[in-house]
Each structure stands twice: as C-alpha cells, then as structure tokens.
Structure 1
Amino acid sequence: MAGLPLPMIPRPITLFFIVFFAFSPSAKAAQFSVLSYGAKPDGKTDSTKAFAAAWAHACASTQPATISVPKGSFSLGQVRFQGPCKNRAILLRIDGTLVAPSDYKVIGNAKNWLIFEHVNGVAVSGGTLDGQGAGLWSCKNSGKGCPRGATSLEFTNSNNIAITGLASLNSQLFHIVINGCQNVKVQGVKVSAAGNSPNTDGIHVQSSTGVTILNSRIGTGDDCVSIGPGTSSLWIENVACGPGHGISIGSLGKESQEAGVQNVTVKTATFTGTQNGLRIKSWGRPSNGFARDILFQHAVMNNVQNPIVIDQNYCPGEKNCPGQVSGVKISDVTYQDIHGSSATEVAVKFDCSKKYPCTGIKLEDVKLTYKNQPAEASCSNAGGLASGLVQPTSCL
C-alpha cells in the first residue's frame, strides 16, 4: 500500500565537504607540525603552548594550512582555537592521541577542553581524544562537591566544519558539541564512555543549521545524540547507539523564551541496550518552544527500555515545574519502519502537554515486541494516525 507522505525535510547542502575544496591537489597547503613548536609525543610533557602556537601560525596564513599531529600521545590542557582566520581552509590532521590532564580539577571548571570559536572552513581528521573523565565521574557519583566538567571538543559560532574519523574517549562532560554553527559534517566518529558515566553526551547540537552526522558509533552514559533548542535541518544517518540514553530532541522548554527545533531526520539507526530509543522531551512548564517536522525512519531496537517516547512532563528533582504544563508545541512527527524489542511492556509512550497536545503524529510500519509478545502503547494528549502494520496497536 502507498505510504504516508513524509515531511519535506531538505537534506543539508554539504557536498563541498566531500572533497574539502581547499585541499585539492592544486591547492598547496602551508604545513605546520606541532613538533616544530615544542610538542612532545611522550604523554607527559605539557604541549598546550605548542598546539596554540601552531594554530596561531595556521590561522594567520593567507593560504590553506595543515596542522599535523604525528603518532604518539600529547598531553594538553585547555586549548582555544580562536578565529576568524586569514584563510578558510585549515586541516587539523591527528595521527596520535590528545590526552587531557589526569587531574580533573585542572580543566574541570573550564567548560571546554578543546574549543574552536569563530572559525570558517576547519576540518578535524583522525586521531583520538582521551578526556580521562573517570576520576570526575567517580567524584560526581559519590555525591561530593565536584567541578561540572569540561566538554572535550566544541565548535561554537563557526561555519563549514568537518569532523571525520575521530575517536573520543571518556570525556569529563559532553564529548562533541556543535553550538551556533552552520554547515557541519560529522562522519565516521566513534564515541566511547562507560554506561554509568554522568552527562557524557556523545554529540550535542544546538542553535545550529545544516548539521549532518553520518556513519558513527556512540556508546556513553547519556544521550548518544542530543538535540537542543534552535536546531534546524539536522540529518543523522547510520548511527549505532549503545550504551546510552538514545537519540533525544531536548530537553526543550527549560527557558520560557526559546528557539524551536525543526526539520530533523534520523535515519538507519540501531539502539542496543539503551535507556531510550527515539525520544522527544520537554520541561513541564511554560515556554514558547516547539519541535516540528521530525522524521524517524528505519530504526532497529535491541532490548531498549523506551523505544519510542515523547515526554512533556520532564521535571528533574520535581523542582520549578510541579503543577505546571509544558508550553512546547510538538507537531508533525513521523515514525516509519521502526522494529525490534523493548525491555519494558510499554514500547510506545506519548505523554504530551495538556495545554498543547501533540498533533500530526504518524506511525507507519512499526513492530515492537516485549518478551517475544506484542508490546503495549500509552497515549496522553496525543493526536495522529497509524497506517500499515503497527504493533503495539496504536493508541493515537
């Protein structure tokens, strides 16, 4: 039978990334090795100043530039890669491992370990980032007073960015953050942290347009991918998630005045042993936020606690929201070809706002089981329609 019409979601225009135009053979890149600036691949010597100096020279170059990090282990404190630069084609090619300080207090209050700001046309390729976050996780899990922690890699207020073939291990906080950016491609990334590590989101996107995440494996203690306010034209494809909390839009509606999320596609994703699969969550309090034109397509769930969930009553610690309802408007969300097993009886849960019910929810070809039997569905303030085989039986 004919399928439902899908939301019109433009694929971000990222073709020029496929060959980073400036790095074609005809464009001669100026070469800057971190070793030339005193970096030592011994895992002990502090190479922070050497990396900063290599960046300063590459950023000041009027021709395309390559910063090379050879094999070995490089100890780094916080490095700020500041723009704008004189050229729009800087490649940071990493063949070794960048290691954060073993004492989490050194960068624990710095917000970021490695941060790129106001850059255009930067590519980070290969290598491993080792955030050495386990000490901070232990501190947090013990309930002591601890620093918040540092994100391992952040791009903020930047355009035309590529991150390819990078491994990020054991971040103190989020592994990779894309904030206030346009036209970003993340491909072939591997994120790894313990399943009980707090707030170690794999990739977090917010206030950004035209971000593509492809062919990546993410296992962590929080969301594999988290999608914050102000995100539009986001394309996620061929991502394996687990352990972790799934792929989450939200939490939204924390602020009363907040940019919405729209035009998001999540395609060909696998979730294994995760807390959630495909999740949208908003705070249970007033806000002008929204989430609309969302497509979840071709997902496989392997023993996932909440395979499909919309939770508009998020209220951590039951503070600042009891007795209120979410103002976030959720509309036009399509779930197509979602299969697999739930670790709980209720595999589909739509818990929407009383004041602004979810509208335009579409379920098409959904088959989720619990202990080899049809799972259950639960709906509250949710409207939409189901077509094709839908199991559990739709409650819309």
Structure 2
Amino acid sequence: MDQDGYIQRAVCWLFVTTVLITTNHAAVVNIKTKGAKGDGITDDGPAILRAWKEACAGAAPSSLLIPPGTYMSLAIELPGPCTGPVEIMAKGATIKAPPELAKFTKDSWITIRNVDRLTITGGVFDGQGQETWKAKKCKDTTSCQIPVNLRLSKLKNSLFKDITSINSKNFHIALRGCDNSRVENVNIEAPGNSINTDGIHIAKLNGLNITNSKIGTGDDCISFGEGSKNVHIERVACGPGHGFSIGSLGKYPNEEPVEGIFLRNCTITGAVNGVRIKSWPDSHPVTVSNIHFEDIIMTGVTNPILIDQEYCPHKTCKKGAPSKVKISNVRFRKIRGTSAGKVAIKLICSAGVPCENVEVADINLTFNGGPSTSECYNAKPKVVGQNVPGVCHA
C-alpha cells in the first residue's frame, strides 16, 4: 500500500477511536443512582440536584436521566455553566410539586439558569396549583411567593421539546434571556378559571421559535414582556385563556423595547382575548414595533383584535393620564372566524403617543352569524382588502 493509503487508514482509525472515546466517556446520570425514590411522596429534589451537578460537570455531551415514574420535588435550582451541552431526558416521567404554597419561599419551583446548549426532552411537570388558585389573599397582591413551574433563565442556543406542564400555581414556563432557542411540541394545561397561569412568558431575549404546541390556561397563552425581540410563533393552538398578549408594558421605568414579534398560522378557541397589545395608563415610556399577527383562526373569542393602552386590571391606575408606550408598525392580517363579543376590532391607543402605521387587512370576524363592529381611539389604521367588520369607518 502506498503512503497515501496508510495516511487515509490512519486518519480513519483516529476518527473512529475519537468517537468511541467520546461516546464512552459521555456522562449519562440517572437520578435513581443518586437516591431518587420515585414514589411520588419522597422529596427527590436533592437527588435531581446531585445528578445535575454530575451531568453538568461531565464530559460533553452529557445527560441527566429521569426515568419513567412519578417523582415529587420541592423547589430546586439547577445552575450552570456546564462543561458542554447537556440534555435532561424525562420522557415518561411525571414530576410533581407539593400542593402546599407554604412550602415555597421563592417564586419558582424548578429553575435552570446559565447554560449554553441545554436540551429538555419530555416530562410532565405538575404544579398542583388547585389550592393556590383558591387562596383569596394572593389574588390581589404581589406579596405572595407563588412559584412558576419552570423558570428558564439565560439558556442560550437551547431546545425544549415534548414537555407537558399542568396546573402550575403561577406561570407555567418563564423564558428570560434564552437567546436563539426553540420550543417545540409543548402541551400546557390549566383550567380557564386558574389564576395568573400564563402558558409561556417571554422577556429579555433575542431569537426564539415556538412551534407545534397546545396551550390552555386561565391567563395569556403566550405573554411577551419587556425586551422580547425576534420571536416567531407558528402552529400554536390557544384556548381557553386570554390569548396572545404583548405586555402589559410601561409599569416600570427603563423597560426594554419589544420588537419583531411574528405570530402566524395559529388558532384561538374560547378565549377572552385573541391577539392583544396592552400598556398601562400613566406609564413609563417604552416602544413596541414590528408586530405581525397573520393567518389566525378564531372561534368564540370575546375580544379578537385588541390594542388596549388603558389596561388597568387592579383599579389602581390613573386612567385619565395617557400611556407613554409608543406602538408602531403593527399588522393584523388574514384573521378570520367568530367573535363572542359585538366589537371584534378594538384599537384603544394613547392620546399622548397615538399608534402609528397599524394595518388591518383581510379580516373576517362575524358575531352571532352577522356582522361585528369595530372601535378606534387615537388610531388611524391602514385598511387593506375586504374586512368584516368595516374598520372604524363603517
């Protein structure tokens, strides 16, 4: 064999050997080997944390395995950074939070933070929030520490797929600082009368795709907080709940702009709102721009298309003072179906900074088998195509 042949064989042998060494040394840490009982009663949180620490520090790519079964866990935090990519594999596993709110001292149940290239695959996360929703003392105050099911913070370049979150005491999934990440095939469930159970809350991130998911809650299916940028949502079914909501914005000083939200090919059924932008009156200044709601089917939605710059749910606002949140470059296109309220399009913009460049195109929303109506305040939308109802002039 000539020299080139020997070199090719040597390179091939080196590649195969490297793959075998990497595979053999990749860490797969089963929480059962770290003391998890899986009886649904014992607190398996410490075992999950021990497994996480080993997997996070292990040779990449590493995995934390939660095998099929039912586990109970008190609040836990799984921190990074890690040696390399990490996967949490929980297919067939159900993890339950304790139902008692008194067992929580912080506003999170499971927190994962500061990891690059995290994957979470599978798992049912049951917040057991039924008793919390009934607790009157927490409904109108921010003093209670009501935990989010999954608080995912600064998990860049990550993938969250095939996850189910049910009956969260508060938000189901809160994504903050998770740049360039994906959410796929997520199922989120809570009854329509559950309190503050937003399906997915997004804030301070740049680059997120949410696809092929089903969300039914007692609050927003997906809510966009400050600093939400370049978010693409497709094939998401929402209902019950409060729809897809940008905001509320302007409550606090120095909020970051919201820009580049693209929501397409979704359905909204039996929700209080459809697609909504909301800000507080007498607000701090912030901007909302480059928003696209397109190709959406609504069934029995009370407020299908809504801009509300007088949002004041707790009656503690100065409604006479205009919002300083500037809304511009918004598109409502190809939205069709049925409205449960007579007013299908309501654009309530700020008298101080009126909405600019709002387009309403090819809307077909009926009410009780007949035409619906529209209302506009401090907004002069650009009207394109055929629209039912007529937009603020018919």
TM exceeding 0.5: yes
DSSP-derived class of the 2:365 partner = strand
DSSP-derived class of the 1:318 partner = coil
User: Are residues 26 and 134 of structure 1, via their aligned partners in 2, closer, same or farther at CA, if it must alter by over 3 Å?
Assistant: farther
The yes-or-no answer on 1:79 pairing with 2:73 is no
DSSP-derived class of the 2:102 partner = coil
Question: What is the CA–CA distance in structure 1 between the aligned matches of 2:234 and 2:41, rounded to whole Å?
Answer: 38
Question: What is the CA–CA distance in structure 1 between the aligned matches of 2:22 and 2:340, rounded to whole Å?
Answer: 53
Q: 1:199 aligns with which of 178, 196, 199?
A: 196
The yes-or-no answer on 1:177 pairing with 2:174 is yes
Q: Tell me the alpha carbon deviations over residues 349-383 of structure 1, each in whole angstroms, 9 at most, x when there is no partner.
A: 00000011111111111000000111000000012
The yes-or-no answer on 1:47 pairing with 2:44 is yes
Q: 1:129 aligns with which of 125, 131, 134?
A: 125
| AA in 1 matched with 2:380 | G
Shift of 1:287: 2.0
Aligned to 1:244: 241
User: Are residues 134 and 61 of structure 1, via their aligned partners in 2, closer, same or farther at CA, if it must alter by over 3 Å?
Assistant: same
| AA in 2 matched with 1:292 | S
| AA in 2 matched with 1:261 | V
Shift of 1:181: 2.0
Q: 2:280 aligns with which of 244, 258, 283?
A: 283
Shift of 1:27: 6.0
User: Are residues 26 and 159 of structure 1, via their aligned partners in 2, closer, same or farther at CA, if it must alter by over 3 Å?
Assistant: farther
DSSP-derived class of the 1:84 partner = coil
- Checking the alignment, whether the CA contact within 8 Å between 2:199 and 2:216 is kept in structure 1 is yes
- Checking the alignment, whether the CA contact within 8 Å between 1:66 and 1:93 is kept in structure 2 is no
- Checking the alignment, whether the CA contact within 8 Å between 2:138 and 2:144 is kept in structure 1 is no
DSSP-derived class of the 1:86 partner = coil
User: Are residues 229 and 25 of structure 1, via their aligned partners in 2, closer, same or farther at CA, if it must alter by over 3 Å?
Assistant: farther
The 10-residue stretch of structure 1 (27-36 or 266-275) with the greater mean CA deviation from structure 2: 27-36
Shift of 1:46: 1.1
The yes-or-no answer on 1:153 pairing with 2:150 is yes
- Checking the alignment, whether the CA contact within 8 Å between 1:283 and 1:315 is kept in structure 2 is yes
User: Are residues 25 and 101 of structure 1, via their aligned partners in 2, closer, same or farther at CA, if it must alter by over 3 Å?
Assistant: farther
State the percentage of identical aligned residues.
Answer: 38
The yes-or-no answer on 1:329 pairing with 2:326 is yes
User: Are residues 45 and 97 of structure 1, via their aligned partners in 2, closer, same or farther at CA, if it must alter by over 3 Å?
Assistant: same
Q: Tell me the alpha carbon deviations over residues 146-166 of structure 1, each in whole angstroms, 9 at most, x when there is no partner.
A: 834100001112211211000
Q: 1:140 aligns with which of 131, 136, 142?
A: 136
Name the structure with the higher helix share: 2
Q: What is the aligned length?
A: 372
- Checking the alignment, whether the CA contact within 8 Å between 1:82 and 1:116 is kept in structure 2 is yes
Question: What is the CA–CA distance in structure 2 between the aligned matches of 1:25 and 1:221, rounded to whole Å?
Answer: 50
Shift of 1:141: 7.7
Aligned to 2:337: 340
Question: What is the CA–CA distance in structure 1 between the aligned matches of 2:193 and 2:161, rounded to whole Å?
Answer: 27
Q: 2:302 aligns with which of 301, 305, 313?
A: 305
Shift of 1:256: 3.0
Aligned to 1:120: 116
Question: What is the CA–CA distance in structure 2 between the aligned matches of 1:246 and 1:380, rounded to whole Å?
Answer: 22
User: Are residues 320 and 387 of structure 1, via their aligned partners in 2, closer, same or farther at CA, if it must alter by over 3 Å?
Assistant: closer
Structure 1 portions without partners, runs of 5+: 1-23
Shift of 1:102: 2.5
- Checking the alignment, whether the CA contact within 8 Å between 1:94 and 1:124 is kept in structure 2 is no
DSSP-derived class of the 1:314 partner = coil
Q: 2:383 aligns with which of 374, 383, 386?
A: 386
Aligned Cα root-mean-square deviation (Å): 1.8
The yes-or-no answer on 1:33 pairing with 2:49 is no
- Checking the alignment, whether the CA contact within 8 Å between 1:308 and 1:347 is kept in structure 2 is yes
Aligned to 2:5: none
Question: What is the CA–CA distance in structure 1 between the aligned matches of 2:73 and 2:138, rounded to whole Å?
Answer: 27
Shift of 1:332: 0.7
TM value normalised by structure 1: 0.90
Matches within 5 A, 1:353-372: 353-372=350-369
The yes-or-no answer on 1:293 pairing with 2:328 is no
- Checking the alignment, whether the CA contact within 8 Å between 1:260 and 1:290 is kept in structure 2 is yes
Question: What is the CA–CA distance in structure 2 between the aligned matches of 1:320 and 1:185, rounded to whole Å?
Answer: 36
Structure with more contact order per residue of length (Cα contacts < 8 Å, sep ≥ 6): 1
TM value normalised by structure 2: 0.91
User: Are residues 143 and 326 of structure 1, via their aligned partners in 2, closer, same or farther at CA, if it must alter by over 3 Å?
Assistant: closer
User: Are residues 26 and 341 of structure 1, via their aligned partners in 2, closer, same or farther at CA, if it must alter by over 3 Å?
Assistant: farther
- Checking the alignment, whether the CA contact within 8 Å between 2:87 and 2:121 is kept in structure 1 is no
Question: What is the CA–CA distance in structure 1 between the aligned matches of 2:43 and 2:138, rounded to whole Å?
Answer: 30
- Checking the alignment, whether the CA contact within 8 Å between 1:59 and 1:90 is kept in structure 2 is no
Q: Tell me the alpha carbon deviations over residues 136-185 of structure 1, each in whole angstroms, 9 at most, x when there is no partner.
A: 11113896988341000011122112110001000000000001221111
| AA in 2 matched with 1:83 | G
Question: What is the CA–CA distance in structure 1 between the aligned matches of 2:156 and 2:196, rounded to whole Å?
Answer: 26
